[in-house]
Chains A and B, each alone.
Chain A
Amino acid sequence: MHGRKAYQLVKEFASGEKGQLKPFNRELFGRVLEECNEHHGALQSLIRKMQEEGLDVQTARNADHYGALIHHLSLTRNKRCLMAYMYNRAEIIRVLAWKVGLLHELPEEIQEKLSDSEEEYFKDHAKTLKSYMSQMGLDVNVDMVPPKDPYIKVRVLEDVGGGIILSDKSANFARHSMHFLKRTDAEQYIARGLMEELTS
């Protein structure tokens, strides 16, 4: 049936957990595009046939017209499915900036799910946000939860290595070590699951 592959693509997106990203389905996406080309070809050959028969394509309502119409509708349906797939993924990717922060590259488990253009999109979006923040002189990428205390106690869950940037101190962040950090410094590491907040 027409549009079935495009439907599968959208269905796959919808079947995931809410707010979760699935790997970009290059294969299915490509096959829908192929199908679009087939519809386009069929549409054109039907129109050509009508022209050869000397019919006015604008007004003639013969079986070729309705065939062409069905191909046209299938084409726009496929397009809508492809667009919705891209758009809704892009929405999730845009929100990533607020969920995992901009301080570092995206975590690997997300990065591997993105297509090249989606990666590009996130990078550009992050760049725009960063330049906005530096112009405003304000970090709007912290305090996603209303803050309580400026300092919190954290435990390091995974080896964070040397990549840690702290505003007011340096320490050895070995796994399982505990620290008293500025909340705004710790926030992104917690969001990425590298540290956990400890409550007394």
Chain B
Amino acid sequence: MAGQSDPHVSLFSAEEVEFIAEDEMVEIVPNMTIERLNFISGDFGPFLPLTVNQVPLWLAVALKKRGKCAIRPPHWMSVENLTKVLEEERDSQGAFQALPFHYVEISRLLFDHAREDIPDIYLVRSLIEDIRDVRLHKVETSLEKFSGTSAVKIPNLSAMEVNIIRPFVGRALQAFYKHDNPEKIPDIDRVSSGQSRVANSEPPRRPLRR
């Protein structure tokens, strides 16, 4: 990953997480006949007008941009479902509601490219933003509870949410581990070389590490 050389950037960039999300399948309704398409990732089609097809999101967006199809918003993106999720998200303090792993990226791509295919788009968009904010706030609250070396389990966290907190959580856990168990991570190189030097009083030789 491009970010790897820079410890300050998450392992994946948001664009890369989005790229991975583009492999998720969505339903499209073509408005014309298109022959079978052969790609490295698989064969799709043939497409007939008004016949529902399952395609990866990237293909759906590409066809949509060229005016060849409508995208069917996934069921979880209905106002009804999102309202329910938001309520439950607000009610349950610790737990996260089950949403698609890539809900942030999928919804963003659909808002960008298929706005006319989403009924009540403004409401849907603000519901998703509210859900995301509530969840991010919850993540922060649960991170505050860290107090030592214990396994951290946060079920139902989505790809983008994980990606946002990864650089911080990784470092924080490492620090907790280090200060919680100093004896577990002995400075092997130093300790052993130090002792051997004392023991036989050799002239100082510093082993070149790496």
Contacts and interface: CB of A to CB of B under 8 A. Distances in A.
A19 B5 CA distance: 9
Contacts of B202: 58
A18 B206 contact: no
A144 B18 contact: no
A57 B203 contact: yes
Interface in A62-84: 69, 72-73, 76
B93 to A, nearest CB: 36
A95 B5 contact: yes
A3 B191 CA distance: 23
A61 B203 contact: no
B55 to A, nearest CB: 17
A18 B6 CA distance: 8
A108 interface: no
A98 B206 CA distance: 36
A48 to B, nearest CB: 15
B204 A73 contact: yes
A76 B203 CA distance: 14
B15 A145 contact: yes
A57 B6 CA distance: 47
Contacts of A145: 2, 13, 15
A52 interface: no
A116 to B, nearest CB: 24
Contact of A59 (B8, B16, B201): B201
A146 interface: yes
Contacts of B203: 57-58
Contacts of B15: 145-146
A146 B1 CA distance: 11
Contacts of B19: 146
A38 to B, nearest CB: 18
Contact of B6 (A19, A69, A146): A19
Given A69-B204, A72-B204, A146-B18, 5 more contacts: A18-B6, A18-B8, A57-B203, A58-B203, A76-B206
14 contacts: A18-B8, A19-B6, A19-B8, A57-B203, A58-B202, A59-B201, A73-B204, A73-B206, A76-B206, A98-B2, A145-B15, A146-B16, A146-B18, A146-B19
Interface of B: 2, 5-6, 8, 13, 15-16, 18-19, 201-204, 206
Interface of A: 18-19, 57-59, 61, 69, 72-73, 76, 91, 95, 98, 144-146
Instruction: Identify the 6 closest CB pairs spanning chains A and B, nearest first.
Output: A146-B19, A95-B5, A76-B206, A145-B15, A146-B15, A72-B204
